[in-house]
């Protein structure tokens, strides 16, 4: 599956409201510098798993899941309060767009016109520009069904926002299921052709946020190829095999086992994997991560063709987060489902262009379970 487009019929989905306070709780979380009210939603399923989401950035603030002894821990690296999210930080938990990852030289051409974007990553544009979707306050509604509970976030990205064409109506729906999975469903429509590539930038530590590095975590990624890049992480347009390289995780391996072999500054994984077709129907995982001490396991399922594996290389001890923890290098990892970086400039890559009359649709699920010692 490449981009999942379906014919546009009607308007964006509307949410169902519920007053079931023990299922979805909405409380104030503070105000932005502009005075906008920010709310936090707490979702809990029948097994005790909790997810907290904030309207600022449509952000995952926390995910609490049990270890193999039933002890709960928050596995999301981030902040306890809104103040942290309002500062400059490395996209902790945010919804990323209009285009996630990098666009080379901060420009692209579409329908005969060149568009210039903010160069906020050297000469390139990264994660939507200077004020991407993770820096916007979204409208939110609770969703309650018989088995699931969730939150739907919506906003309109205006024509010209961060240099992108078209008025885009966006929806991101987070659903907590009773099998300890957090499902994220993205949708968008536009009145002008525009690139769309959405993801979530959650940093995970399955030992618990602030509990050391993720180097002993074990990971498997269902990909035999990656998008080859130049030294600034812009794809060349060619695919490269992972076999025989330090980024080969077709079989389980420790994240830290070969990380120092990565030729990058700072050293660490920041690679887009080309997912095998077997993972694109949501029946087989795109990736699985295991933390040996707690027995926690996270499976990632996605309809997207790519997955960015990032190991918190730029965390340098300057950010204090939850419970006063200092976030150092490798204290969290990201698995960002996506179309390939710089696809808008690479005709050989799956297209990211959304046209009027079409609807963008994408789903990614993070499922949590445990294994015995």
> What is the set of active-site residues?
201, 336
User: Residue for token digits 């023990």?
Assistant: 22
Cα–Cα distance measured from residue 184 to residue 143, given in angstroms and rounded to the nearest whole number: 13
The full 3-state SS of the chain, as one line of letters, equals CCCEEEECCCCCCCCCCCCCCCCEEEEEEEECCCCCEEEEEEEECCCCCEEEEECECCEEEEEEEECCCCCEEECEECCCCHHHHHCCCCCCCCEECCECCEEHHHEEEECCEEEECCCCECCEEECCCCCCHHHCECEEEEEECCCCEEEEEEEEECCCHHHCCCCEEEEEEEEECCCCEEEEEEEEEECCCEECECEECCEECCCCCCCCCCCCCEEEECEEEEEEECCCCCEEEEEEECCCCCCCCCCCEECCCCHHHCCCCCCCCEEEEEECHHHCCCCCCCEEEECCCCCEEEEEEECCCEEEEECCCCCCCCEECHHHCEECCCCCEEEEEECCCCHHHCCCCCCCEECCCEEEEEEEEEEEEECCC
Cα–Cα distance measured from residue 45 to residue 49, given in angstroms and rounded to the nearest whole number: 6
Cα–Cα distance measured from residue 56 to residue 79, given in angstroms and rounded to the nearest whole number: 13
The Cβ-side half-sphere exposure at 226, using a 13 Å CA radius, reads 22
Q: Residue 124 corresponds to which tokens in the numbers above?
A: 């390139």
The CA-atom distances, in angstroms, between 95 and each of 13, 58, 98, 198, 326 are: 19, 6, 10, 7, 23
């Amino acid at each position: 599956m490449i981009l999942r487009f379906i014919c546009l019929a009607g308007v964006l989905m509307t949410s169902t409201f519920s007053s079931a306070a023990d299922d979805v709780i909405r409380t104030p979380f503070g105000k932005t510098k502009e005075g906008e009210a920010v709310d936090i939603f707490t979702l809990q399923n029948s097994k005790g798993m909790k997810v907290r989401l904030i309207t600022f950035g449509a952000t995952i603030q926390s995910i609490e899941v049990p270890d193999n002894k039933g002890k709960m821990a928050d596995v999301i690296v981030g902040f306890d309060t809104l103040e942290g999210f309002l500062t400059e930080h490395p996209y902790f938990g945010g919804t990323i767009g209009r285009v996630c990852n990098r666009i080379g030289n901060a420009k692209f051409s579409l329908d005969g016109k060149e568009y210039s974007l903010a160069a906020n990553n050297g000469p390139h544009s990264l994660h939507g520009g200077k004020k991407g979707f993770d820096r916007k306050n979204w409208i939110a509604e609770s969703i309650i069904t018989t088995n699931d509970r969730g939150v739907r976030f919506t906003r309109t990205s205006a024509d010209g926002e961060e240099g992108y064409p078209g008025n885009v109506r966006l929806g991101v729906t987070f659903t907590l299921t009773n099998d300890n999975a957090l499902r994220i469903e993205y949708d968008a429509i536009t009145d002008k052709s525009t690139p769309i590539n959405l993801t979530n930038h959650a940093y995970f530590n399955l030992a618990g946020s602030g509990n050391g590095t993720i180097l002993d975590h074990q990971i498997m990624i269902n990909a035999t190829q990656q998008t080859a890049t130049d030294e600034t992480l812009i794809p060349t347009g060619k695919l490269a095999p992972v076999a025989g390289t330090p980024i080969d995780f077709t079989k389980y391996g420790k994240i830290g086992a070969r990380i120092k072999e990565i030729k990058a500054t700072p050293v660490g994984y920041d690679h887009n994997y080309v997912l095998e077709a077997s993972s694109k129907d949501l029946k087989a995982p795109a990736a699985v991560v295991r933390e040996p001490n707690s027995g926690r396991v996270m499976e990632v399922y996605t309809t997207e063709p790519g997955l960015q594996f990032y190991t918190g290389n730029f965390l340098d001890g300057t950010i204090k987060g939850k419970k006063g923890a200092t976030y150092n290098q490798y204290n969290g990892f990201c698995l960002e489902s996506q179309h390939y970086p710089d696809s808008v400039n690479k005709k050989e890559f799956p297209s990211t262009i959304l046209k009027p009359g079409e609807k963008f649709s994408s789903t990614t699920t993070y499922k949590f379970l445990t294994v015995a010692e």
